[in-house]
A = this chain, B = another copy of it.
Amino acid sequence: MTATRVAGKGGMGKRRKAKVQAVAKRRQGLASRERLLDAAEKLFALYGFNGVSVRQIVHAAKVNLGAVPYHFGTKEELFKAVIYRRAQPLREEREERLKKLREKGKKPGLEEVLWALLEPAFRASRENEWFRRLLGRASMDPTPEVKKLLAEIYNVEFMVVPKELRKVNAELPDDVFYWRLNCFYGVMLFVLADPGKIQTIAGKEFDTSRPEVALKYVIPFLTAGFRSPA
């Protein structure tokens, strides 16, 4: 295969794995690809997977329409690429924090674990605020494709979350724990999905720029929830 563009139907993903990654940096090319990812990230976050057309994305990215089939094959693959670009670094950071926590000697408490789990996601992507919103949104997207993809991602990247939380809630019976975990996800995703929502709800200004602020309020709420008598 000369393998210039995405082959047939599902042949994507192999091509360029080695090549492009190796070469990516010394080229000034691939600007389209990167710009596409950025634009798609933002638009998907704002309007959802089905709420944006490929044409809107290429327009925002100032890139040709053909760039999408070329670089990603399908809209769905583009979406995946958007998520995966950030998901891995996110997991790494989360795990590093957990490691640090364990190294501190005594067994970490619920509050510390919550902090370690949430902070990276809340601060996700220094470069770009849109990813955290996308993550929240996508997690509640009812579309089957999106659900499937997200399940995939959660299995790979987020398995540590329930595992670590279980450790610091060892005394809870299974059913109680999982219901509280469910509540935890609800809070996390809601705040991730729309950091500005609180302003709408409250009808006044809030500092939503710094993620630590949100965590300052959210973590005590969650801690108390987990700690409440069964």
Interface residues of A (CB under 8 A from B): 45-48, 50-51, 137, 140-144, 151, 162, 174-176, 178-183, 185-191, 193-194, 197-198, 200-202, 206, 214, 217-218, 220-230
Contact = CB atoms under 8 A, between A and B. Distances in A.
A143 B51 contact: yes
A217 B175 contact: yes
9 contacts: A45-B142, A50-B51, A51-B142, A162-B201, A175-B206, A180-B221, A183-B191, A221-B226, A222-B225
B228 A142 contact: no
A190 B200 contact: no
Contacts of A188: 186
A180 B217 contact: yes
Contacts of A48: 48, 50, 141-143
Counted per complex, copies of this chain come to 2
A48 to B, nearest CB: 5
A165 to B, nearest CB: 11
A206 B178 contact: yes
B217 A176 contact: yes
Contacts of A191: 182-183, 186
Contact of A182 (B181, B183, B197): B197
Contacts of A51: 50, 142-143
Contact of A225 (B176, B193, B201, B221): B221
A91 B3 CA distance: 60
A1 to B, nearest CB: 35
Contacts of A201: 162, 178, 181-182, 185
A121 to B, nearest CB: 14
Nearest to A188: B186
A228 B217 contact: no
A197 to B, nearest CB: 7
Contact of A142 (B47, B182, B183): B47
Contacts of A227: 224
Given A186-B190, A224-B225, A224-B228, 9 more contacts: A47-B143, A48-B143, A140-B193, A176-B217, A179-B214, A179-B217, A179-B221, A189-B190, A220-B228
